[in-house]
Amino acid sequence: GPMGLALTSSEIKKYSIMEAPYYATIEAVNKAQMIFIGLGSLGPLLFTSITHLQAPVGVMGPVGVAQLTGEVLHFGQLNAIIDMMILLSLSLAVINILPIPALDGGRFFFLLVEFVIRKKLKPEHEATINAIGLITLLGLLLFFTYFDIARWIGGKSILP
């Protein structure tokens, strides 16, 4: 998959102690940008996968992440393991800041709306929206976990 290519093509670069934070930040921003672009193309993919009852390629739930982690550990290259940890952490950070109810980005969005309309939203409205968001997220989690388990039981690898 796309993550497999990123893992196997990772390279080790050496920087001075003064340069490292700068280049690490640039690399993190570039990878986060890649994740945002990938998420942007996920909308139509997600709709198609739900209507056709099949998981989109490259999208996985917690079981798939565990399987991928096992495969990368088995692969055994330290830079591949570190690369996967970076991609996983950045993916979680990016998803968490999206304006999705029940996540931190959703809370920030509510604060932004309150700032723009200059009044507090009714707590029951906010609670209802967060509940809908949480139910949707849990539904997607179950959907992807089902396909993760099916792939795992079928003995299919995630890495190419």
DSSP 158: S
User: In whole angstroms, what is the distance from residue 149 CA to residue 153 CA?
Assistant: 6
What's the pLDDT tens digit per position in 89-119?
A: 998 998 899 899 989 999 999 999 999 999 9
What's the pLDDT tens digit per position in 16-34?
A: 899 989 998 998 899 888 8
What's the pLDDT tens digit per position in 44-86?
A: 777 777 777 777 677 788 898 899 889 888 888 888 888 888 8
User: In whole angstroms, what is the distance from residue 144 CA to residue 61 CA?
Assistant: 5
- Residue for token digits 């997607």? 140
Q: How many CA atoms lie within 13 A of 153 on its CB side?
A: 6
